[in-house]
Amino acid sequence: MTVVSDKTSLNIGLLFGGQSGEHDVSITSARAIASALSQNSRYQVQPFYIQRDGTWRSPNISQQVLSCGKSLPDSELLTGAAFFLPAEVQQIDLWFPVLHGPNGEDGTVQGLLQLMHKPYVGNGVLASSVGMDKIAMKAIFANAGLPQVKYVALNRWQWQQEQQEWSEHIEVTLGYPCFVKPSNLGSSVGISKVRDRQQLQEAIASATSYDPRIIIEQGVIAREIECAVLGNEQPQASAIGEITFNSDFYDYETKYTAGMANLIIPSQLPDHVVQAVQAMAVKAFQTVGGSGLARVDFFYVETTGTVLINEINTFPGFTALSMYPKLWEYSGIPFTELCDRLVDLAIKKYHGN
């Protein structure tokens, strides 16, 4: 077993890019993290860029991607390569996966890093995979008594067999508007807000094209508030942030078009709501077996004073402007220190403390 904490210099493998729709966000997050880590003289950062097709690139090429902040032009992509790991992987003492979405944030990469027997930043296989699959996540939250919107879970085959029955069931138990979502995705991709049966059927056809497992939720009129969590078994919760926007809901375009959404830190909420949200964020983190970090998102239904948990993100956006690091900055942990703490938490977890 490598005793990384005793080494004077730590070779950190920064994994970024990846196969999900959040490829570009990952590059931006990785740039910010690489720059923060480079301020600590103990760390040597070796970047590993993962192309959109899943191919891992060597630190040399990866550094070019990091420096210019953009994915490689088509002419420089490696194509048709069977899955292989660059030789430099052997030199890494600790991994920092900066990947969002499927094949990055969902436990797959975490499983690979686990098999390499090296510490890695953030959540392990279980928390990552549970956090990525909305049906599994909601079942676990429900079991822990965390309040959430009413929902119906089904798969493509069930839907195709009994469209009429499911439509009636959804209308009776949830009503309109409701939200149709692929179970396993992110960034609002494949999500629709529907107001009648025809839209429901179209939305289900669309969601099942992304994932055979889908979820339909009762629509709520609520403020969207978010809490950052940091730690392993005894995590801390940050101040609460809020997202505001003028669109119908926080869809892909609103998320990724500059100026369409605002981050408000701290969210103006009654003290008891802040405390309830922080307690629920920590409970959600512990319920999925979280480690390192997570951002937990909620709906606050102001008219009734109800807080509902929406989801846990096990590797939230981590650019200098993202909610997660901004919440910690406001709560007294600047970006550079946050990255240091995540590295320390990874080492502690690896050594079982």
Interface with ligand ADP (CB under 6 A)? 149, 179, 181, 186-188, 191, 217-220, 224, 249-250, 297, 310-311
Q: Which is nearer to ligand ADP, 14 or 135 (CB)?
A: 135
Please say which residue, 59 or 122, places its beta carbon nearer to ligand ADP: 122
| Whole-number Å distance between alpha carbons of 180 and 315 | 23
Residue nearest to ligand ADP (CB): 250
> Among positive and negative, which fits the CA dihedral 105, 111, 114, 115?
negative
Q: Least distance from C-beta 73 to ligand ADP, angstroms?
A: 29
Question: Comparing C-alpha atoms, which of 13, 24, 37, 31 is closest to residue 67?
Answer: 31
DSSP state of 329: H
Rank residues 23 and 181 by Cβ distance to ligand ADP and give the closer one.
181
CB of 245 to ligand ADP, least distance (A): 8
Instruction: Pick between residue 113 and residue 154 the one whose CB is nearest to ligand ADP.
Output: 154
CB 88 within 8 A of CB 50: no
Length of the chain: 353
Structure tokens at 341: 């703490």
Q: What minimum distance in Å lies between the beta carbon of 80 and ligand ADP?
A: 31
Look up residue 247 and give its DSSP letter: S
**Nearest approach, Cβ of residue 304 and ligand ADP (Å):** 14
Say how far apart CA 215 and CA 179 lie, in whole Å: 8
What's the token pair of residue 4? Answer: 């990384």
Q: What is the maximum alpha-carbon separation in the chain?
A: 65
Give the shortest CB-218-to-ligand ADP separation in angstroms. 6
Give the separation between CA 122 and CA 59, rounded to whole angstroms: 22
- How far apart CA 343 and CA 293 sit, in angstroms, is 11
Nearest to 13 by CA among 98, 70, 83, 72: 98
Minimal distance, residue 173 CB to ligand ADP, in Å: 13
Cis, peptide link before residue 177, omega less than 30° from 0: yes
Q: What is the dihedral of CA 230, 236, 242, 248, to 10 degrees?
A: 60
Distance CA 291, CA 230 (A): 8
Distance of CA 221 to the CA centre of its chain: 23
Phi, psi of 118 (to 5 degrees): -130, 150
Closer residue to ligand ADP (CB): 226 or 340: 226
Identify which of residues 225 and 333 has a Cβ nearer to ligand ADP in the complex. Answer: 225
Query: Closest distance between ligand ADP and the C-beta of residue 44, in Å?
Result: 34
> Please, which residue, 78 or 261, has the CB nearer to ligand ADP?
261
**Cβ 297 to ligand ADP shortest distance, Å:** 6
Distance CA 265, CA 280 (A): 19
- Least distance from ligand ADP to the Cβ atom of residue 312, Å: 10
Nearer to ligand ADP, 120 or 300 (CB): 300
The smaller minimum CB distance to ligand ADP, of residues 237 and 308, is found at 308
Do residues 216 and 150 lie in contact, with contact meaning Cβ atoms separated by under 8 Å? no
Cβ 107 to ligand ADP shortest distance, Å: 16
Residue closer to ligand ADP (CB basis): 149 or 204:
149
Going by the DSSP 8-state scheme, the letter that residue 184 receives in this structure is: B
